């Protein structure tokens, strides 16, 4: 019954989203309208119950209350309904549906299999996961299970007293399913499968809208989701000899292709996309299905919502013809290189509102949308028109000045590119100097707009202002409440670092600059660079949006974990994959009449997809136990015999914590595997926990300091990690309420209750 009720609740929101899109954007093609409506329904289901929870906690009652604002939104959209009939189903839709069924559906089946097998799948009383979900999944499980009936705004359940500033709405969506009675596994798997379906389908719809061809849409979808690079060549290099051992250079430790294939499919991160031996191969372009969409649920939720925003942004910024656009009646035809037609204000406002809801779904997706919008705005307002060449040259010159100053500040990095033994030091350039050329450029842009103040251009700029204002009204409260407060309280965030993980820790580049991207991204990167040499306004506008994301990510580390900048790089590649696919299809067409063109196409596909296919195959094969039978039983006891949100003291070293992840209870301190990268200093809590377990009688202050209700000990795990457990003192001072033993002698878990 819980499954049925939770699915029905989601369907109500999806129906509301479809109705809103039908009223606001009737000229959108049929399939895109359905997709936009379903995605809008999901983000509304994330936000409205959470906002209603300010009245009565994140409870079932709050979810029922949330149906009222949904009804009001639908009524308002009916009153503001755009004139004209909705665009009907036609032959183009049939062909597009075929592309979706041939591409998005198989990818969804792969993604659905990984969701089911990689998110706490029960196996003989234990819970299993996959390679990619072994680490991060428990963080998301803890957020999901602790969100039930929680007061909002919610604290970290693994670091109480600190506001949960990690984007939580994708996980709160799963908590919604649990509140209606669904199991934890279904609450994780079902929304994940739906979001994967919408992400795959949305990418194809976006790529087809930009490229105008089904072939471009399908190829770009495959380039993005089966991404890899040239890393598979390492498994072919001197395959007849062993070039390493199991602890060093493992990928090439097998003699022969079959042995190396076994290493790839069975080893721990031995795939040639994201390889565990970072310093050996420097392969870091993780496959997005295996290493992003499955384990990083916020990224999946973010892309599910980012793609509709990019679709609406493209509609707003690009050419709109009556038969393909959003206008209620025929208007003057426009092109991305010159004339334009006024945008429907409903589109502009919807784009702004949708974008403004992104930060707490996925902050990186929001930032990427903002940067891409700025790049497209720059192209729209400055890099087109009568003085296009002059403006483009001026802009590139100013951009070059900013990049040069950034490189000078990282002089040691550049010197090490040519000489790994260089002892050159970075130049101490004041940070404000970086913004002087940018300020000059902004001033010249403003002056150009003032001098070329045609009414149409100013009205166009006003539309952009409405979009930005609508987004700011919704995003600023989120950023001020959650994002900025966390980043400002830690010195871990926002620092200059050139060239991402190729310059790990700022210690110098491991690979040559272009070679790093060529070998990690592969042939699509070369196609992209060559495609930009062509004079195609459509590609150039898209490239402006894409590289507006790439350039900041290339020079600024936005999080403590430098690797996390890939969440911006992947949005850059999301847009660039369309350019590369469009150019590849164009080349294939130019080769018509050449007998070997199909052989070239097959060879190109091998280079495109071998690395990504190996990564996905490895992930489908992976299977690891994360919770033992003993731990599952302990979690079940905690779930049914302790109050919700009671506080447990547990060890912090092991990220596999049944009390937090499965039962949703608050723990004094979670693992640094997550908390360090979120900017927290956990040392004081580590010391308090260590001294309490070693001598409970002399350290009772720890219990009062953190408001502990229960004491949890997994004896084998804790003692193997260096904690001293004084079990006799715990038995003497506190009431034992649970003792569980597994099949093996080392599996023993005890829980004591703290008597107030």
What are the tens digits of pLDDT across the range 581-623? 999 999 999 999 898 999 999 999 999 999 999 999 999 999 9
What pLDDT shows up at residue 91? 86
Confirm if 221 and 99 have CB atoms less than 8 A apart. Answer: no
Element at 749 (helix H, strand E): strand 748-753
User: What is the structure's pLDDT at 484?
Assistant: 85
Range list of H helices, 591-654: 597-621, 629-641
DSSP H helical ranges for 410-434: 411-418
pLDDT score recorded for residue 386: 56
Give the pLDDT score at 11.
Answer: 97
Contact 555, 497 (CB under 8 A): yes
pLDDT at 333: 37
Alpha-carbon distance of 565 to 552, in angstroms, equals: 10
For residue 302, CA distances in Å to 46, 66, 168, 360, 480 come to 12, 22, 11, 9, 19
Q: Give residue 406's pLDDT.
A: 66
Q: From the CB of residue 381, how many other CB atoms can be counted at a distance below 10 Å?
A: 19
Q: Say what the pLDDT of residue 238 is.
A: 83
Instruction: Say how far apart CA 372 and CA 313 lie, in whole Å.
Output: 9
**Which DSSP category does 102 fall into?**
I
pLDDT of 385: 61
The two three-digit tokens of residue 288, written as one number: 């997005």
Distance separating alpha carbons of residues 739 and 634, to the nearest angstrom = 8
The domain locations on the chain are: 2-130+165-211, 628-753
Pairing of strands 735-741, 666-667: unpaired
**Structure-token pair, residue 8:** 């029905």
Note if the bond before 365 is cis, omega within 30 degrees: no
d(CA 158, CA 648): 10
- Give which of 147, 142, 129, 130 is closest to 662, Cα–Cα: 142
What is the dihedral angle through the alpha carbons of 268, 272, 277, 282, rounded to the nearest 10 degrees?
-160
Element (H, E) at 495: strand 495-496
Identify the segments of the chain with pLDDT beneath 70.
Answer: 246-247, 319-341, 385-392, 394-395, 402, 405-435, 441, 444-445, 448-455, 488-492
**pLDDT tens, position by position, 229-269:** 999 998 888 888 888 776 678 888 888 889 899 999 998 89
pTM (two decimals): 0.92
């Amino acid at each position: 019954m819980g499954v049925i009720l939770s699915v029905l609740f989601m369907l109500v929101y999806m129906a509301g989203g479809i109705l809103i899109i039908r009223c606001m954007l009737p000229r959108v093609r049929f399939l895109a309208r359905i997709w936009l409506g379903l995605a809008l329904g999901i983000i509304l289901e994330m936000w409205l119950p959470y906002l209603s929870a300010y009245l009565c906690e994140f409870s079932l009652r709050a979810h029922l209350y949330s149906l009222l604002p949904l009804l009001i939104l639908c009524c308002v959209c009916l009153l503001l309904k755009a004139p004209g009939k909705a665009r009907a189903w036609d032959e183009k839709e049939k062909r597009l549906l075929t592309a979706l069924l041939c591409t998005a559906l198989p990818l969804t089946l792969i993604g659905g299999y990984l969701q089911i097998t990689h998110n706490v799948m029960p196996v003989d009383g234990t819970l299993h996961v996959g390679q990619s979900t072994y680490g991060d999944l428990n963080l998301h499980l803890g957020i999901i299970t602790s969100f039930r009936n929680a007061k909002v705004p919610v604290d970290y359940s693994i670091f109480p007293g600190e506001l949960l500033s990690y984007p939580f709405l994708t996980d709160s969506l799963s908590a919604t399913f649990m509140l209606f009675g669904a199991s934890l596994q279904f609450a994780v798997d079902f929304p994940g499968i739906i979001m994967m379906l919408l992400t795959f389908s949305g990418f194809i719809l976006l790529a087809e809208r930009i490229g105008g061809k089904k072939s471009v849409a399908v190829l770009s979808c495959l380039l993005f989701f089966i991404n890899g690079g040239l890393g598979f060549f390492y498994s072919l290099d001197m395959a007849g000899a062993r070039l390493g051992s199991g602890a060093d250079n493992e990928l090439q430790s097998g003699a022969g292709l079959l042995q190396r294939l076994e290493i790839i499919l069975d080893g721990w991160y031995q795939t040639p996309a994201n390889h565990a031996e970072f310093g050996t191969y420097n392969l870091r372009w993780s496959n997005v299905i295996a290493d992003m969409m499955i384990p990083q649920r916020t990224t999946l939720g973010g892309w599910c919502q980012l793609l509709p925003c990019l679709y609406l942004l493209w509609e707003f910024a690009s050419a709109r013809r009556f038969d393909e656009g959003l206008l209620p009646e025929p208007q003057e035809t426009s092109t991305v290189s010159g004339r334009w037609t006024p945008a429907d204000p409903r589109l502009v406002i919807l784009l702004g509102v949708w974008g403004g809801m992104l930060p707490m779904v996925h902050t990186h997706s929001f930032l990427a949308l903002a940067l891409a919008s700025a790049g497209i705005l720059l192209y729209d307002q400055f890099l087109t028109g009568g003085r296009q060449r002059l403006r483009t040259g001026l802009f590139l010159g100013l951009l070059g000045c900013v990049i040069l100053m950034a490189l000078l500040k990282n002089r040691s990095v550049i010197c090490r590119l040519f000489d790994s033994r260089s002892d050159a030091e970075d130049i101490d350039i004041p940070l404000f100097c970086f913004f002087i050329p940018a300020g000059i450029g902004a001033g010249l842009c403003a002056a150009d707009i003032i001098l070329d103040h045609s009414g149409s251009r100013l009205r166009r700029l006003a539309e952009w202002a409405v979009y930005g204002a609508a987004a700011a009204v919704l995003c600023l409260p989120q950023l001020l409440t959650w994002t900025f407060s966390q980043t400002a309280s830690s010195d871990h965030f926002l620092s200059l670092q050139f060239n991402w993980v190729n310059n790990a820790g700022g210690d110098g580049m491991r690979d040559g600059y272009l070679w790093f991207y060529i070998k990690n991204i592969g042939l699509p990167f070369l196609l992209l660079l060559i495609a930009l040499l062509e004079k195609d306004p459509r590609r150039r506008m898209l490239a402006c949006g894409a590289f507006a994301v790439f350039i900041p990510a290339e020079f600024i580390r936005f999080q403590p974990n430098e690797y996390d900048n890939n969440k911006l790089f992947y949005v850059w590649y999301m847009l660039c994959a369309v350019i590369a696919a469009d150019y590849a299809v164009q080349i294939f067409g130019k080769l018509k009449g050449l007998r070997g063109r199909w052989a070239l196409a097959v060879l190109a596909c091998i280079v495109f997809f071998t690395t990504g296919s190996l990564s996905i195959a490895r992930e489908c094969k992976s299977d690891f136990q994360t919770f033992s039978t003993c731990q599952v039983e302990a979690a079940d006891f905690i779930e049914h015999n302790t109050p919700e949100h009671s506080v447990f003291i547990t060890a912090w070293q092991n990220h596999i914590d049944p009390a937090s992840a499965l039962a949703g209870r608050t723990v004094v301190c979670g693992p640094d595997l997550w908390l360090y990268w979120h900017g927290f200093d956990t040392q004081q809590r580590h010391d308090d926990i260590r001294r309490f377990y070693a001598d409970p009688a002399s350290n009772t202050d720890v219990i009062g300091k953190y408001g502990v209700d229960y004491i949890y000990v997994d004896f084998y795990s804790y003692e193997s990690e260096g904690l001293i457990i004084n079990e006799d003192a715990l038995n003497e001072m506190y009431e034992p309420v649970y003792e569980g033993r597994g099949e093996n002698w080392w599996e023993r878990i005890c829980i004591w209750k703290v008597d107030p």
